Amino acid sequence: MALIRKTHTPSDGNNRRLPRDREGLLRQLDDEAADIRRWAALDLAAFPDAADEICARLEQETQTPVREAMFTTLIEIGGNAVVKGLIPLLHSEDVALRNAVVEALQQLPDAVSPYMATMLEDPDTDSRIFAVNVLANLRHPQTPAWLQQVITHDSDFNVCASAVDVLAEVGTPEAIPALTGLPERFSDEPFMQFCVQAAIRRIQGNGR
């Protein structure tokens, strides 16, 4: 997802001569013209309380530049409302949208952290994998601990394998005991043994 560098001024372009108040901008998110929707999405960064409405429109927005503008604004706003609005979209059937949500959440580590334990316990297996994907580039001190929680408690092979892959990149030696127990838990999946051995080598500095 390419985020937009906001180098414009409030008077740029004919498409921005419409009302720039909160309600006017929200109405413009439903305009037929993509340029108007895009500018409205960018300008809504001035109204943090519009985060819920922006999140609610993400799934129905079909134009990539407009979506990118929405995500740019949501990341700039940040905070609890944005994260609460984005997490449910991990259940979307729209692959591009899900990937963009993962990337956006990765840029909001402090806001995401209170929700991560719940995300990792989602009943939907795919959603738990997406939560692990968020952890892959989430700069938060609890990331290794969350991943250890996954490989210790999650019963799904694919979820655990995804967590092992991430631990290979961000794990610490404290994760090794939990890793060594995985092959026994998934004894019918020989590939897990390979993944674990590779991850341990990376963590120990022997496989880089």
**172: helix, strand or coil:** coil
Which sequence spans correspond to the domains of the chain?
18-110, 114-207
Q: What was the pLDDT predicted at 63?
A: 97
Note the Cα 31 to chain centre separation in Å. 27
Top CATH class, 18-110? mainly alpha
Which helix (H) or strand (E) covers residue 167, if one does? helix 157-170
Q: What was the pLDDT predicted at 6?
A: 52
Nearest to 169 by CA among 126, 201, 125, 128: 201
Which helix (H) or strand (E) covers residue 146, if one does? helix 143-153
**C-alpha dist (Å) from residue 108 to 12, 49, 72, 75:** 29, 17, 12, 7
> What does each of the 208 residues of the chain score in pLDDT, given as a tens digit?
656 555 444 435 555 566 789 999 999 999 999 999 999 999 999 999 999 999 999 999 999 999 999 999 999 999 999 999 999 999 999 999 999 999 999 999 999 999 999 999 999 999 999 999 999 999 999 999 999 999 999 999 999 999 999 999 999 999 999 999 999 999 999 999 999 999 999 999 854 4
Radius of gyration of the chain (CA): 20
Nearest to 99 by CA among 71, 66, 57: 71
CA atoms of 117 and 106, how far apart (whole Å): 15
In the structure encoding, which two tokens stand for residue 110, read together? 């402090």
Q: Is the dihedral of CA 136, 141, 142, 145 positive or negative?
A: positive
Q: What was the pLDDT predicted at 16?
A: 59
Planar angle of CA 206, 174, 196, nearest 5 degrees: 50
Enter the pTM of the model.
Answer: 0.89
| b/e code 123-158 from CB counts within 10 Å (16+ = b) | eeeebbbbbbbbbbbbebeebbebbbbbbbebeebe
